[in-house]
Structure 1
Amino acid sequence: MVPVLTGFIGATAQGIPTTLGRGGSDYSAAIFGAVLDADEVQIWTDVNGVLTADPRIVPEARTLPELSYSEAAELSYFGAKVLHPKTILPAIERGIRLRVLNTFNPEHPGTCIVKELTETGRKLGAVKAITAIKNLTLVNVAGKGMMGVPGIAARTFAAVARAGANVLMISQSSSEQSITFVVPQSDAPTVLDDLRHDLARELAQHWVDAVTGRDDIVIVAVVGAEMAGTPGIAARVFGALGEAHVNVIAIAQGSSEVNISLVVLVGDADTAVRRIHAAFALDKLGENL
């Protein structure tokens, strides 16, 4: 049995029909797949699956034959528009395989998204893809008086939460003299106003020297589950950027090591993506399979 169902449309708590927004059809399909205990949910789109980079930036980008849930989630969160981040959640809960296929090239095998990588997925290499997300603001709370003062980080992010802003990346210096994080540019004015209001006492006493925002930045994310435990990945990333004279403003890496995120100026973003893609020879990805 192959159920064919409408997507993209839902209802509010009051029963009023509404749309789910971008990616709503994908999300609907994943929900139905979970409810029906499907073996696989197929997402038909206009590209040959999930690519190693945006082909508008890297024309030689290749289709990834396989991704893990965690890799797909990182890529969709950091700008890969082929799959909405919420689509993965129902699949994770039921262990359902997702497959991204091209409506205009149905013979192409596309990308298979699975709970655990097979031997094929592991052979693709430590780094699978490079993506970028734009229209962001880098917020910096800095001051020499912050060292050893408890509660500043808690109050900082309480203000961000009250503003309803999504924090895409956080970086803090080990000296505790600054807290840096990235929010959507549309949320930045409210976030900055709330921060300056909540930290007014610290600003007056010069514990915090300044609360600033910078709009001309982009997060570049380097994604791959096999980066965990593989030495030299960061060296190759930053070596490629250094050779291209790309300045890295901030860095973050989670303990899972699936993603290395770095902030660069918007004018350097495309160069950064291309140079990292070339450094890991992603244009030849899959040739050894």
Structure 2
Amino acid sequence: MIVMKFGGSSVANKKQIEKVLAIVRGRAAKAPLVVSSAHKGMTDALLAGAREATRGVYAPERVIERQAAIARELGCDDALLAPFFDEIAALYKGLSLVRELSPRSLDYAASFGERLAVRVIADYFTREGLPAQAFDVWDLGFVTDATFGAARPLPGYEERMKRAVKERVPEGVIPIVTGFVGRTEAGEITTVGRNGSDLTATLVGAALEAEEVEIWSDTDGVMTADPGVVPQARSIPEMRFDEAAELAYFGSRVLHPSTLVPAIEKKIPVRVLNTNRPEHPGTVIREATSPGELPATSIAYRGGQLAVTLCSTRMLGAAGFLGEAFQALGRHEVVVDMIATSEVNVSFTTDCKAPLDRALPELEKLGDVRVEAGKTLMVVVGRRLAEQPGLGAAILQAVADAGVNVEMVSYGMKSISLTMLVADKDVGAAAAVLHERLFERA
């Protein structure tokens, strides 16, 4: 069997859902399990409505009408979603009374997007001659911890899912399953994180030992750069798990950063495909690939970085200084993305402003601290980076030729990535020149 995940843009409206129906119908012989995101924009609308309710603006009809319009377009009976609409209205009424939005309430509000989408999609598929049934993922054994906003399935969920799918999914029926959400043993609804339907798909694929996980979006697979920044970007036919994981972490817009972990553990290939161009082969991500001709695989970037420099002569020949600094960061849960050190200073980046603000008083006891905002991490990823003499120098020269100053560099021994810190405003210029040198001259 295979797991097929469709993103919000793929199920945005009837026109897109018709494309999804044709794609799933064409794979019916592979016993697909379909994981669906919410319709494009629905999760944001649900959360906006919840936040408005806490400010005393009770207007559930806005989000209800948005979903109802899609259901009507698909020809669904009004009764199909009526109980969920009543539940949304009741939730917003409660929020408007208590004027408080907890992480638990946020997850509850956000969950409706997927729960509504799978029901209209399954109903439409069935009326179009492809028998389907909607499932909340927890009804198939996906029970999570209570980490609202970043929940993970409890140990042993794999066996629970195998049993539940066997017992609850009728033969010949395609399950349409909610992505992004989960539920605790106590029955509280959780989410695995924004854009987490990809992660749901690979967790489900790992549990069911799927032949492959397909991630369907609106791009031709993983690209050599962000097409919005570099129009000449092109699709990458295949890549290794470690390359894709690095790109996802550093800002690739195609995959959620945690998506590949379950697939890596079970060695299940992940294929990234385009709903609007299903004939395109996309990108397959797996443990081993054929040797590539190009020295690099892709360019990605991650904005919103704060660059922190801690300077102190206490570092000279002293053991334990860095330990003190990073213990302080750890106590305040500061996530460090990049680090560079010299004899008298340590520089690092983070995108966690509130935790950093809490840690600064402790860091200032160790030395002089400078914090600069408006920075971006730009990374070049490639399995052959460490094998090409002079490639690192060529990458830095290309950025210099773009008139961009590199403020920090990180390049580990035998690393598959070279990371540079640049100003936010320089991302477009640096990415364009790097792409031209690494991919367009080959």
TM-score, normalised with respect to structure 1: 0.88
1:64 to 2:236 alignment: yes
Higher RCO (CA-CA < 8 Å; seq separation 6+): 1
- Residues 39-78 of structure 1 aligned to structure 2 (within 5 Å): 39-78=211-250
1:217 to 2:375 alignment: yes
1:191 to 2:356 alignment: yes
* Contact 2:310-2:363 at 8 Å conserved across structures: no
Opposite residue 232 of structure 1, the aligned amino acid is G
Which residue in the other structure is 2:276 paired with? 104
Q: Distance in 2 between matches of 1:220 and 1:226?
A: 18
1:177 to 2:344 alignment: yes
Q: Distance in 2 between matches of 1:143 and 1:198?
A: 11
* Contact 1:64-1:128 at 8 Å conserved across structures: yes
Shift of 1:224: 0.5
Shift of 1:189: 5.0
Say which one has the larger Rg.
2
Shift of 1:135: 0.7
Opposite residue 111 of structure 1, the aligned amino acid is T
Opposite residue 61 of structure 1, the aligned amino acid is A
Which residue in the other structure is 2:429 paired with? 271
Q: Distance in 1 between matches of 2:406 and 2:250?
A: 17
Give 3-state SS (helix, strand or coil) of 1:86's partner.
Answer: coil
Q: Deviations over 1:72-105 (max 9, x none)?
A: 0110000012101211000100111000001111
- Residues 82-121 of structure 1 aligned to structure 2 (within 5 Å): 82-119=254-291
Which residue in the other structure is 2:101 paired with? none
* Contact 1:62-1:283 at 8 Å conserved across structures: no
Gapped regions of structure 2 (runs ≥ 5): 1-30, 35-176
Shift of 1:8: 1.4
Q: Deviations over 1:184-242 (max 9, x none)?
A: 0xx23542442432552x4xxxxx3x111100211100000121222111111011122
Tell which deviates more after alignment, 155-164 or 92-101: 155-164
Q: Distance in 2 between matches of 1:193 and 1:18?
A: 28
Shift of 1:160: 1.5
* Contact 2:409-2:418 at 8 Å conserved across structures: yes
* Contact 2:246-2:381 at 8 Å conserved across structures: yes
Tell which deviates more after alignment, 51-60 or 222-231: 222-231
Q: Distance in 2 between matches of 1:117 and 1:18?
A: 36
1:160 to 2:329 alignment: yes
Q: Distance in 2 between matches of 1:148 and 1:139?
A: 22
Tell which deviates more after alignment, 35-44 or 161-170: 161-170
Q: Distance in 1 between matches of 2:219 and 2:374?
A: 29
- Which 4+ stretches in 1 moved above 4 angstroms? none
Q: Which one of 380, 401, 410 corresponds to residue 243 of structure 1?
A: 401
Opposite residue 349 of structure 2, the aligned amino acid is V
**For the structure 1 residues 198 and 172, does the alpha-carbon distance in structure 2 shift closer, same or farther, using more than 3 Å as the test?**
closer
How many residue pairs were aligned?
A: 270
Give 3-state SS (helix, strand or coil) of 1:126's partner.
Answer: coil
Structure with the higher fraction of residues in helix conformation: 2
TM-score, normalised with respect to structure 2: 0.59
**For the structure 1 residues 227 and 198, does the alpha-carbon distance in structure 2 shift closer, same or farther, using more than 3 Å as the test?**
closer
* Contact 1:63-1:110 at 8 Å conserved across structures: yes
RMSD (Å) for aligned C-alpha atoms:
1.7
